[in-house]
Structure 1
Amino acid sequence: MTARAVVTGIGVVAPSGVGVDAHWRSVTAGTRSTGPITLFDPDHRYPTRIAGEVAGFDAGRYVDNRRLVQTDRWTHLGFAATTLALADAGLPEQAPDPYGYAVTLASSSGGNLFGQRELQRLWGGPSRTVGAYQSIAWFYAASVGQVSIHHQFKGPCGVLVTEAAGGLDSLAHAVRTIRRGTPVVIAGATECPLSPYALACQLRSGLLSPVDDPERAYQPFDVDAAGYVPAEGGAVFVVEERGHAVARGARIYGEVAGWGATHDAAHTGPESAGDPVQYARAVRSALDRAGTGPDEVDVVLPDALGVARYDRSEAEALRRVFGARPVPVTTQKPLTGRAHQGGSALDVATALLAMRHDLLPASAGPRRPADGCELEFLRRPRRPETGVAVVCARGFDGFNSALVLRGARPGSDGGAGA
């Protein structure tokens, strides 16, 4: 039989809160966590000055002093999310069988704040040097390496680089790793794209919102959509072979039942909007792999970029998959901002928690759907019926990914789909 992969631990470190309980309270209350950037001063030269930050984050609670100075805030967030996920799963921080634990996280921009500081020292300081840890702290695989070293997880480790789609791709890769014989995999993603250099890179895409009012800055699928609000944070998961989880009496949030990934084969340019055909193909592939029909889906958590042409393209893709049957759609990204690969991982956490709490949260918008974006947005919370969620994400330069999650029934013994 093909091994089944289930999620037994969730660690959230996001603008919505630190820990699953804080995140869930924020989501169900519709609490907006975006506001003026404080990690640096985005003065009048930056048209975007609103972001989602992890307020009051104390890295020292999760990282020892030695690693604190060797790594970037993005990795600090990853350390924290991993520690929380392991505790949530009831697993020790040091693996009893190191080769039975793997780490597969997603990344895209790397250690921005660390790199910014070192480059400013290189070009603006009298020493004209960078610190010894610049090369590894800024490196896109730094979080995977540091987490695996810290926890002594020596199974197959790797990093997925598909921008926002990476949070979903990491979970798909975790399933493949489990089916190849590793019983426990750490998957998911965090991000911290909030430094002068990182913000400038994002602004060049023309997709960021210039609106200074947090209530109006990020409105996907809305007639007033003006772009996305950048954010830090994300979520990390303990993904486990189902038999292994059941044998140790673990609580199971749900099963990673199917996944699909496609590519537009096109560069993201000023006029691009994503290919709805390829996007729809990724969703269908995920459903097919899960053995699930479109009519069985309880809810879809979309990419929700907040750029009119991309929103229309995404809505068209969903209509291609679900046809005449309007599937409920909910997004909480307007509350937290868009944390790239960390944001899609956070959507997975929201979907699993929704099934765990037997409650699909209302969508944070749109107030007025734009033409072509008329989807079945959840206007009020409701109970799930089938326990099946689809999470979608798109990355710049054409990445499309979808994940099918089958939630464990509330009050069950933890067997997803049992």
Structure 2
Amino acid sequence: MTTAVVTGLGVVAPNGLGIEEFWKSTLDGCSGIAEITRFDAAAYGSELAGQVTDFDAGWQTPPKLLPQTDISTRFALAAAEWALSDAAVDPSALVDYDMGVVTANAFGGFEFTHRELSKLWSKGGQHVSVYESFAWFYAVNTGQISIRHGLRGPSKALVAEQAGGLDAIGHARRTVREGTGLVVTGGVDSALDPWGWASQLSGGRVSPTAYRPFDVRANGYLPGEGGAILVVENVDAARRRGVGRIYGEIAGYATTFDPAPGSPRPPGLRRAVELALADAELAPGDVDVVFADAAGVPELDRQEAEAIAGVFGPSGVPVTAPKTLTGRLYSGGGPLDVAAALLSVRDGVIPATADVDLPAGYEIDLVSGEPRYGTVSNALVLARGKWGFNAAIVVRAFNG
């Protein structure tokens, strides 16, 4: 079976741009969550989010693309550029049809679309940008990355809310195993304009005060924006081009769907964990850390804690949720956790879960307060999307 390895990482996160800035902030417990500054959110009932505040679109977005792209696409283009650079990939030196793009998106170009709809309502259709025809679309990040770098191989766009980013990485691994040499993959999202904020609050899961998963005070999550893009390669193809560093292997992947509300059947998360471990040919005792979905909603936290304890035993594996420093990034959240998991493998450290001071008593070994140091060879990343999506990815140290 072809081994799919990660050779490049690109991060745009509320607490750091680029992998090293993000990772240092994460280990130091530096939060990117603050009051929203792009509009007056005082009347909305919640004003806190993980904003990317120091991003300059001109860094990686050609001037001609600026009028064509939503902020989420600009994030995706920058993260893809950084990931390819990190992997030392020159796409022009490789076969264009042997490189693909698989990304996830939960919102599409929300801010761009709402701006154009405002023009439509207030000024008329002749004032709407022609670029609205594609800037709103869920597949636009895949398309723009593909066009910019000449990646003409098998490509996809996946939509599964918070779980979508892991699904994209899982699909990228499948694409590599089926013969494509390199796939750019991951996800980013942004919906922090007034309409986007209202839509997130309407879901009923956003906290008005804080993001404290697995805590007795948990009352929802705080949203964020950004995410991560990865370069996933066939290890043999990577070696042929002289790759200098491999972060790790995408060793296992699984996705499941919850039963309908009111069903006597259990949620599908535990089954996703078991299937991902089986796919990676690992026993529960082989896993060194779980990066939790950490919804921050008491019932969902309880379900996740029960799934983890059911597979690994009570407090049987360290569990962490560094997303408390960034907010939930929807399709960007899973890939950012995968990047953090790979950096944990690289550096032998598990980042802490911030702001959880009063654990709710679930039977999990939650890493809080300070990072925990030690060998990390295998990490499990979980994500749950609204409406029943579950996904699990296993990454492991590459020793080939």
Q: Aligned partners of 2:263, 2:71: CA distance in 1, in Å?
A: 31
Counterpart among 234, 239, 249 of residue 241 in structure 1 = 234
Q: Please tell me whether residue 31 in structure 1 is matched to residue 27 in structure 2.
A: no
Change (3 A) 1:276 1:351: farther
Query: Which amino acid in the other structure matches residue 377 of structure 1?
Result: L
The answer to whether the 8 Å contact 1:6/1:242 transfers is yes
Change (3 A) 1:296 1:41: same
Query: Which amino acid in the other structure matches residue 171 of structure 1?
Result: I
Name the counterpart of 2:269.
Answer: 279
The answer to whether the 8 Å contact 2:314/2:364 transfers is no
Change (3 A) 1:64 1:273: farther
The answer to whether the 8 Å contact 2:103/2:186 transfers is yes
The answer to whether the 8 Å contact 1:295/1:325 transfers is no
Give how far 1:126 is off: 5.3
Give how far 1:110 is off: 0.4
Alignment of 1:11-410 (within 5 A): 11-44=10-43, 46-92=44-90, 94=92, 96-125=94-123, 129-211=127-209, 217-250=210-243, 251-266=245-260, 277-324=267-314, 326-371=316-361, 373-379=362-368, 380-385=370-375, 387-407=377-397
Give how far 1:381 is off: 2.5
Give how far 1:93 is off: 5.1
Query: Which amino acid in the other structure matches residue 332 of structure 2?
Result: G
Change (3 A) 1:195 1:276: farther
Change (3 A) 1:179 1:353: same
The answer to whether the 8 Å contact 2:267/2:303 transfers is no
The answer to whether the 8 Å contact 2:289/2:376 transfers is no
Three-state SS of the structure 2 residue aligned to 1:224 is coil
Query: Which amino acid in the other structure matches residue 224 of structure 1?
Result: R
Give how far 1:81 is off: 0.2
Q: In the TM superposition, what whole-angstrom CA distance separates every residue of 1:162-216 from its partner, at most 9, and x where no partner exists? A: 11111111111011101111010001001102111111111111100111xxxxx
Which piece of structure 1 moves more, 325-334 or 301-310?
Answer: 325-334
**Unmatched runs of 5 consecutive residues or more in structure 2:** none
Q: Aligned partners of 1:20, 1:190: CA distance in 2, in Å?
A: 15
Three-state SS of the structure 1 residue aligned to 2:349 is coil
Give how far 1:320 is off: 1.5
Three-state SS of the structure 2 residue aligned to 1:227 is coil
What is the aligned length? 398
Three-state SS of the structure 2 residue aligned to 1:135 is helix
Which piece of structure 1 moves more, 319-328 or 246-255?
Answer: 319-328
Q: Aligned partners of 1:255, 1:89: CA distance in 2, in Å?
A: 14
**Unmatched runs of 5 consecutive residues or more in structure 1:** 212-216, 408-415
Q: Aligned partners of 2:272, 2:264: CA distance in 1, in Å?
A: 13
The answer to whether the 8 Å contact 2:14/2:226 transfers is yes
Superposed CA RMSD = 1.8
Give how far 1:280 is off: 0.1
Change (3 A) 1:374 1:240: same
The answer to whether the 8 Å contact 1:95/1:152 transfers is no
Give how far 1:274 is off: 12
Q: In the TM superposition, what whole-angstrom CA distance separates every residue of 1:245-288 from its partner, at most 9, and x where no partner exists? A: 22333210000000110001436xxxx99985411000000000
TM-score by length of 2: 0.96
The answer to whether the 8 Å contact 2:189/2:331 transfers is yes
User: Identity percentage over the alignment?
Assistant: 46
Q: Aligned partners of 1:36, 1:384: CA distance in 2, in Å?
A: 35
Give how far 1:398 is off: 0.1
The answer to whether the 8 Å contact 2:315/2:363 transfers is no
Q: Aligned partners of 2:23, 2:136: CA distance in 1, in Å?
A: 31
TM-score by length of 1: 0.92
The answer to whether the 8 Å contact 1:298/1:384 transfers is no
Query: Which amino acid in the other structure matches residue 35 of structure 2?
Result: P
Q: Aligned partners of 1:324, 1:50: CA distance in 2, in Å?
A: 34
Q: In the TM superposition, what whole-angstrom CA distance separates every residue of 1:10-46 from its partner, at most 9, and x where no partner exists? A: 00011121101101110110101100112222231x1
